[in-house]
Amino acid sequence: MTTQHIKHFLILANELHFWKAAEKAFISQSSLSRQIQTLEDEINVQLFERDKRNVKLTDAGLFLKHKWTDVINNLDQINKQAKKIDEGITGFVSITYPGSIAFSYLPKFLELLNINLPDLKLELTEPKDEGHEKLLLDYQTDIAFSRDPIQNININSYKLNTEVICLVVPQNHWLNKDTLQKLSDLKDEKFIITGLHKKTFFASLLRHFFNTHNFEPKTVIESDFGGMIINLVSKGLGISILPLSFKFSYASNVRFIELDKHIDLYVSWRKSEVNKTTEKVINYAKQIEIKY
């Protein structure tokens, strides 16, 4: 029994006329008759009552008509879905990203995907430890946005853009470009930043930044979540250092003061990736331009 036999059975079950059914199936009437007989013999069930003039479904045939119609419809849908995935039109893609792109790059990227790949299902995750390399190699994510390139022979990394990092202060804070002479002037300020003891890329960047300017910040709150940090700064609980892209959060009561330090954004993926959908998503990622 093949799916073709079942499809031809369903055509005859709807037409209840061998000549019309054969014409619709693009086969001869004798071939259709042999297929139905073969099907009946294989499952040992009489599907039709027939004579020279009439064709009628048996009760068993009527039951199988309803059941096999659902099966064939589901099978056709599955095959269409597989074809879409093969062509890169739809599918499932898992993406990890740093929180700093959630207000600028990421919305534009998702909008572009929605326009060009409307059936694509996405899983978005912001990993706490920025372990994008391990997530890619373990197939826990398909595409990783990160602030540093991943140095692994099995992973490709592509630089998307560069932006400055900024001091983030409450709106009424004394600090501005004119009053800031040197960063050591901030030695008495309360900082809300990621933990400098951590091994993440941004923590390493901040450590190097503070060491270069020869002072240790007075950290009162540690957080890895930029959105939370922005809110705390707006409440006057301290100041912070964040990428300029957080300015797109349009948080109230905060100001961004650009510093002479830049940070990059990369997209990374497995070199062995065969999913055409992933390839298309990466190509769209390369098209996004953000003007800071």
In tens, the pLDDT along 117-135 reads: 988 889 999 887 667 888 8
The count of other CB atoms within 10 Å of the CB of residue 171 is: 11
- In the chain, % of residues over pLDDT 90: 35
* pLDDT tens-digit map of 152-177: 999 999 999 999 999 999 998 888 77
CA 211 to chain CA centroid, nearest Å: 37
Average pLDDT of the residues in 266-272: 92
Residue 214's CB is within 10 A of a number of other CB atoms, namely 10
pLDDT at res. 199 = 79
Closest alpha carbon to 152 in 48, 39, 275, 272: 272
| pTM for the full predicted model | 0.73
DSSP 8-state assignment for residue 26: T
Say if CB 216 and CB 210 are below 8 A apart: yes
- Quick check: 164 and 259 in contact, CB under 8 A? yes
88: left (phi over 0), alpha (psi -120 to 50) or beta: left
Q: Burial level of 247, CB count in 10 A (0-12/13-18/19+)?
A: buried
d(CA 146, CA 100): 10
Ramachandran bin of 60, using left for φ above 0, alpha for ψ from -120 to 50, beta for the remaining angles: alpha
Domains of the chain, start order? 3-87 (1.10.10.10), 91-160+266-285 (3.40.190.10), 161-263 (3.40.190.10)
Q: Give me the mean pLDDT over the 23-28 stretch.
A: 88
**Between the CA of residue 172 and those of 192, 249, 255, what are the distances in Å?**
17, 19, 9
β-pair type (155-170, 254-270): antiparallel
Give per-residue pLDDT as tens, 213-231: 888 889 999 988 888 999 9
The residues, any chain, with a CB within 8 Å of residue 160's CB and separated by 6 or more, are: 105, 145, 264, 265, 266, 267, 285, 286, 288
